[in-house]
Amino acid sequence: AFARGLDLLAALNRHGAATALTLARETGIARPTVYRLLETLRREGYVARSPSDERWVLRLKVRRLSDGFEDEEWIGAIAAPALY
């Protein structure tokens, strides 16, 4: 379930806003499961349902998922074999 929830967040990030049907089609996750996962993500503050339509949107809390990530780490991963 965790991996599927991350798949939903990634798909929603690509779209900006999307319906559950769109997310189900893109991720291959069954629509009832998409609804359950979205409801869990909504309760935790990561997504919200748009008040004007059926689309889901990301909330600011998703930014916490990248706290502590440093993009410069790729340099060491690439350079380490060459340095040895």
pLDDT higher than threshold 80 for residue 73: no
Q: What is the pLDDT of residue 45?
A: 96
Phi, psi torsion values for 17, nearest 5 degrees: -155, 140
Question: pLDDT per residue over 4-57, tens digit each?
Answer: 999 999 999 999 999 999 999 999 999 999 999 999 999 999 999 998 899 999
pLDDT higher than threshold 90 for residue 82: no
Cβ(58)–Cβ(13) under 8 Å? yes
Sign (positive/negative) of CA torsion 31, 33, 36, 40? negative
DSSP reduced 3-state for 50:
coil
pTM to 2 decimal places: 0.78
